[in-house]
C-alpha cells in the first residue's frame, strides 16, 4: 500500500497542500495524511501515517522538507520505517529507499538540505545585523512593556500572574519580566 503525507507550514499555503495531495493521489497513494503545521510543532498526521504503515507499505512525500526538519530527524524517521519494513519514496527527487542506492542518496540529499537551511539562517542573521547597524531594524514592538500599567493594575487587584497573562494575551514569563523591571 502507498501512504501519502502532505504538509505545509501555514494555513495560507492551501494551494501548495492541494498540489501535494494531487501529486500523491496521481502516484496511486491509497491513503493520504495532510496537515498544515510548522515542522517543529507536534505533527499528528505524520504520527498517524507512520503508525498506520505496515510491512511492505511505502510512505510517499512530494519533497524531503515536507517530511523531516533535519538530517537527524530524517534518519530517525527512516530508521523507524525500516524497522517496520516500510519504504520511503520522495517524488521530486525520484528517490526510493527500497534499494541501497536510494538509501545513500537520501542521506546525501538530507545533508545538503540541512546545509542549505543553515546557510539561509546565517544569511538572515547577517541581514538583520546589517539592518540594525543602519538603524532600519527595530525588531517587534515590546507588547508586554506597552501594557505594563495594565499588568501592575491587574496584579494589584489580586489577579494571579497566569490570569493576567491570559487576560492580556501575553506569556506568563512576560508578566513576570514586566513586574521585575518595575
Joined grid coordinates for residue 167: 487576560
- Residue finishing a domain among 66, 100, 116: 116
Q: What percent of the chain has pLDDT over 70?
A: 100
CB 24 within 8 A of CB 59: no
Q: What pLDDT does residue 145 have?
A: 86
Residue with cell 507588547: 143
Would the pLDDT of 57 be above 90? yes
Tell whether 38 and 93 lie within a shared domain.
yes
What whole-number distance in Å separates Cα of residue 132 and Cα of residue 125? 10
pLDDT at 153: 92
Q: Is 9 an active-site residue?
A: yes
Residues 94 and 148 in one domain: no
Q: How confident is the model at residue 30 (pLDDT cuts 50, 70, 90)?
A: very high
- Three-state SS for 154? helix
Q: How confident is the model at residue 21, as a pLDDT?
A: 93
Domain boundary among 73, 101, 116: 116
In a domain, 36, yes or no: yes
Among residues 69, 99, 116, the one where a domain terminates is: 116
Its domain, for residue 83, covers 2-116
Q: pLDDT for 71-103, tens place per residue?
A: 788 888 988 999 999 999 999 988 898 888 888
| Rounded CA separation 75/88 (Å) | 12
Residue 109 has pLDDT above 90, yes or no: no
Does residue 46 sit within a domain?
yes
Nearest to 67 by CA among 84, 92, 85: 92
Residue 25's pLDDT band, with cuts at 50, 70 and 90, is very high
Tell me how far apart the alpha carbons of residues 74 and 55 are, in angstroms, rounded to a whole number.
19
Write down the catalytic residue from 9, 21, 39, 70: 9
150 shares a domain with 112: no
Q: Do both 39 and 101 map to the same domain? A: yes
Contact 62, 20 (CB under 8 A): yes
143 neighbors 178 (Cβ within 8 angstroms): no
CATH no. for residue 29? 3.40.50.1390
Give all strands (DSSP E) within 44-158, no chain letters: 58-61, 87-90, 95-96
Amino acid at each position: 500500500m502507498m501512504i501519502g503525507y502532505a504538509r505545509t507550514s501555514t494555513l495560507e499555503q492551501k494551494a501548495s497542500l492541494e498540489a501535494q495531495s494531487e501529486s500523491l493521489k496521481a502516484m496511486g497513494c491509497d491513503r493520504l495524511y495532510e496537515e498544515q503545521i510548522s515542522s517543529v510543532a507536534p505533527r499528528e498526521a505524520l504520527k498517524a501515517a507512520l503508525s498506520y504503515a505496515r510491512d511492505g507499505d511505502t510512505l510517499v512525500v512530494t519533497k524531503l522538507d515536507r517530511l523531516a526538519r533535519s538530517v537527524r530527524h530524517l534518519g530517525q524517521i527512516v530508521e523507524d520505517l525500516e524497522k517496520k519494513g516500510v519504504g520511503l519514496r520522495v517524488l521530486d527527487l525520484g528517490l526510493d529507499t527500497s534499494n541501497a542506492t536510494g538509501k545513500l542518496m537520501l542521506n546525501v540529499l538530507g545533508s545538503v538540505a540541512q546545509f542549505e537551511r543553515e546557510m539561509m539562517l546565517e544569511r538572515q542573521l547577517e541581514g538583520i545585523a546589517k539592518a540594525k547597524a543602519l538603524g532600519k531594524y527595530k525588531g517587534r514592538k515590546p507588547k508586554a512593556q506597552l501594557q505594563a500599567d495594565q499588568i501592575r493594575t491587574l496584579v494589584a487587584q489580586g489577579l494571579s500572574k497566569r490570569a493576567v497573562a491570559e487576560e492580556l494575551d501575553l506569556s506568563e514569563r512576560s508578566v513576570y519580566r514586566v513586574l521585575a523591571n518595575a
